[in-house]
Structure 1
Amino acid sequence: MTSPFSAPVSRRLFLAGSLSAALLAAAACSSDESAPQPSPTPVFPVTVDHMYGSTTIPAEPKRIVVIGTTEQDALLALGVVPIAVTQWVGDEPYAVFPWAIDKLGDAKPTVLESAEDLSAATITGLKPDLIIGTNAGMDKATYTALSTIAPTIANSGVYANTSYEPWPTQTVLVGKAVGREAQAQKLVDDLTQRFAEVAAAHPKWAGVSAGFVQAPYDDGSVIAWPNGLGTNFLTDLGFTIPKSFDRFVNDKVAQAQIPAKDTGVLNEAEVLVWGTDVAGDGADIRADKVLGGIDAVKGGRSVYTGDLLASAIYFNTILSLPYVIDQLVPELEKVLPGG
């Protein structure tokens, strides 16, 4: 599997522009899979408000197509299996990662992998009765086109960005669309409480500065995440994100791109979580002439995630974040003993 960082960002940006163009093409395709009957009993009709207006779903959808990159997790958490999902990175079966695969059951959703797969002809051929694109980079023209095929749910607009949706907002929005708003809210409340309990069990983490960074260099820069959507897994555990990261943020991708000459700013983080392909001791980072000199690297206050944990962090969903807690917290305890 490739790195879960640079590829997803470029794919999100790609989708924002190319999905509209793809809808003008015709790439015929069809699918006869039908989703298993979900439970508990949903309530319909429902009307969902989003950044492009509101969408009414008159009855329980049976053929849900996900055109965003993470929404399948919210559906699966609610016991609803889509008939089609959109691939992000890697080659996970049916674009569903290990933290969610058991909820897929025997279903085999169609995987949409390219601009042609996202064409009007393909989506029409899937015969959807609901299209979900809260994390799809969907513009207004695309929304309008898709809405002629089936009721379509767009991003909430909370972050004023069509490609990013806070996990609580996405979970509840998707839950409402499938008639399970109360169940979705309960899932959000439970996970929020779990983060709070872990933070309370580690009081010394409160206020400690931390950073989530990608290595090695990307186009001569180190990628770091400022305070916000990409770092909530740290702040919800009590950590703070250095404000100095903000001046390096590229608004188009909502990430800080820190040039090699400025990597000293990473010294403002007492602990660093490195999104790496391989878990372990970060030997390649420690050996790097620049990165090896960063305080959290020299001082052994760094966690090197490995591919799957990094992907779970970046997925940032109701199902991936419990996996993050399970895997990351023990590693943080090692580098911040007594926390």
Structure 2
Amino acid sequence: MNYRLAAVAVPLVLALSACSGPAGGEADAPATTAAGVTLTHAFGQTEVPGDARRVVTLGWGSTEAALALGVVPVGIEAQTYAADEDGRLPWVTEALAETGEEPTMVPASVEEPAYEEIGALEPDVILAPYSGLTAEQYEILSEIAPTVAFPEEPWTTPWREVITIVGEALGRTAEAEELVADLDARIEEEAAAHPELEGKSVAAVWDVGGTFWVYKPQDSRVDFLLDLGLVSAPAVEELASGEESFVYTLSYEETDRLESDILVTYASTEEEVETFLGQSYAQAIPAVAEGSVAAITGDELVAAMSPPTALSVDWGLDTYVELISAAAAD
């Protein structure tokens, strides 16, 4: 399986654009000691120096975490899905506007990270805790600067852990913990306002490019749904082959077995939603037949919640919960 295709917004997020410009500002001096910090991840351990100031962020969520913690990276991996012509997601653009700084947009790692462009930035640390780095790519990046990869599997790091890892790497552990606590309080407040979600089973899917994707509880977007009081539908795990980590494909002939109280699906446009719901294999899904569908529509909203980041939680949460609440009511 190509996990990069299925991660941030299923296959559509593979396409990432590049735009280079003047390097961004250096981070304020971290709160760590000169000895720095040692972080453990899937490829071993990385020693991040305590005076690390020039930060490059790769993958998903690390840019937002750094910005939310008051650190402007010198290099940010560009995005195309839901991004502007500069490769920036809307909440990143808003955060950068407040700083007045212009980081370099690093070409996206569609197949390989942009080693040359990253090296030219002379980073002190490279942050990729939610990414699809291979062991070989990690080794090459580590020759450029200390590199922090994902803790266990690619594209599975919980969004809270992305924030805490970035906080530890930048010497802002306390600030990261406070940020997570604030976001948790915001989510808990929203969940409390929608008791109709409590205990309802949910399945999150995306039908795109002739492939029907089903997300498992290990996926950050499903984990976020569970934060709202929902529970993962037993059928989601029962239909998996057991080999996938966070997502799998389901044949159209088996969609009738995907039983849940609510079906959450993703689409770029309303037309895509209508096309999907009009298919016989969609009509066979119990939640679709019952009208209990939350269609998360529009690239920006999909990106904001799939999975959420330190900056996108507040950006899209209200609309997101309203859609799911309507499905629960139906």
Assess same fold via TM > 0.5: yes
User: Among 16, 20, 23, which residue is 1:33 paired with?
Assistant: 23
User: Among 213, 216, 221, which residue is 1:226 paired with?
Assistant: 216
User: Among 169, 184, 189, which residue is 1:192 paired with?
Assistant: 184
Equivalent residues of 2:132, 2:155 under 8 A apart = yes
User: Among 119, 125, 131, which residue is 1:124 paired with?
Assistant: 119
C-alpha root-mean-square deviation of aligned residues, in Å?
3.0
User: Among 21, 28, 33, which residue is 1:44 paired with?
Assistant: 33
Q: CA deviation at 1:86?
A: 2.0
**Correspondence for 2:11:** 6
Segments of 5+ residues of structure 1 without an aligned counterpart are 13-28
User: Among 289, 314, 323, which residue is 2:315 paired with?
Assistant: 323
Q: Which amino acid aligns with 2:213?
A: I
Q: Which amino acid aligns with 2:158?
A: P
SS in 1 for 2:90: coil
Q: CA deviation at 1:261?
A: 0.6
Distance across 1 between alignment mates of 2:199 and 2:112: 46
Q: Which amino acid aligns with 2:118?
A: I
User: Among 132, 136, 141, which residue is 2:131 paired with?
Assistant: 136
Aligned length: 313
Task: Work out whether 1:294 is the aligned partner of 2:285.
Answer: yes
Equivalent residues of 2:57, 2:126 under 8 A apart = yes
Equivalent residues of 2:106, 2:117 under 8 A apart = no
Segments of 5+ residues of structure 2 without an aligned counterpart are none
**Correspondence for 1:310:** 302
SS in 2 for 1:290: helix
Alpha-carbon spacing, 1:279–1:38, altered in 2? closer, same or farther (3 Å): farther
**Correspondence for 1:168:** 160
Equivalent residues of 1:64, 1:130 under 8 A apart = yes
Alpha-carbon spacing, 1:149–1:249, altered in 2? closer, same or farther (3 Å): same
Task: Work out whether 1:112 is the aligned partner of 2:107.
Answer: yes
1:70-121 per-position Cα deviation (integer Å, ceiling 9, x unaligned): 3111111112111222234424354331133211123242232256873543
Q: CA deviation at 1:60?
A: 3.5
SS in 2 for 1:100: helix
SS in 1 for 2:232: coil
Distance across 2 between alignment mates of 1:287 and 1:89: 29
**Correspondence for 2:204:** 212
Q: CA deviation at 1:226?
A: 1.6
Task: Work out whether 1:272 is the aligned partner of 2:263.
Answer: yes
Equivalent residues of 1:75, 1:175 under 8 A apart = yes
When normalised by structure 1's length, the TM-score is 0.81
Alpha-carbon spacing, 1:53–1:63, altered in 2? closer, same or farther (3 Å): same
When normalised by structure 2's length, the TM-score is 0.83
Q: CA deviation at 1:30?
A: 9.0
SS in 1 for 2:63: helix
User: Among 79, 90, 93, which residue is 1:98 paired with?
Assistant: 90
